Amino acid sequence: MAESTLAEKLLTDQKEAMKAKEPFRLSAIRILRAELQNGAIAKNAPLDPKEELDILTREVKKRKDALTDYEKSGRQDLVNDLKKEIEILSKYLPEQLSDEDLAEMVCEAITESGAESKREVGKVMSLLMSRVKGKADGGKLRQLVENNLK
């Protein structure tokens, strides 16, 4: 039987991490499971796969943002830990789109939105983000859009 939700996959992986005595992986999985559980409690209902993906994406983004801050302040110990966490959590994200696919999608979205200047980046981004949810980094995508607009 295939696992149907991220929460079920995480539970299975948590058990594996416990058996394999991988404390760092176990900790990262537990944190993500807790965030999913908090989301379900806040919703007062089970999360659907899109909501699970939203939480996973948010958690990875949080760590990437913190990584930048820690690098600037010279906290290499925390940088290394965050990189490991990002690597662990990223395994649960959908397969990332290639640069070529992203460039093609950006061109299509610019044409579709009718955007002509950098002031209209938001219009293009709103089209793109729903299409690439969890499959591309928003910052990278925004840079591509800005580079393609005058």
Q: Residue 67 CB: number of other CB atoms within 10 A?
A: 19
Give the separation between CA 86 and CA 65, rounded to whole angstroms.
11
pLDDT in tens, 105-134: 888 888 888 878 888 888 888 888 888 877
Burial class of residue 103 in the structure, from the number of CB atoms within 10 Å of its CB (0-12 exposed, 13-18 middle, 19+ buried): middle
For the domain made up of 99-148, give the CATH fold: Arc Repressor Mutant, subunit A (1.10.10)
Q: Provide the CATH number for the domain formed by 6-90 in this structure.
A: 1.10.1510.10
Domain coordinates of the chain in residue numbers?
A: 6-90, 99-148
Give residue 37's pLDDT.
94
pTM: 0.76
The low-confidence residues of the chain, meaning pLDDT below 70, are 1-4
- CA–centroid distance for 65 within its chain: 12
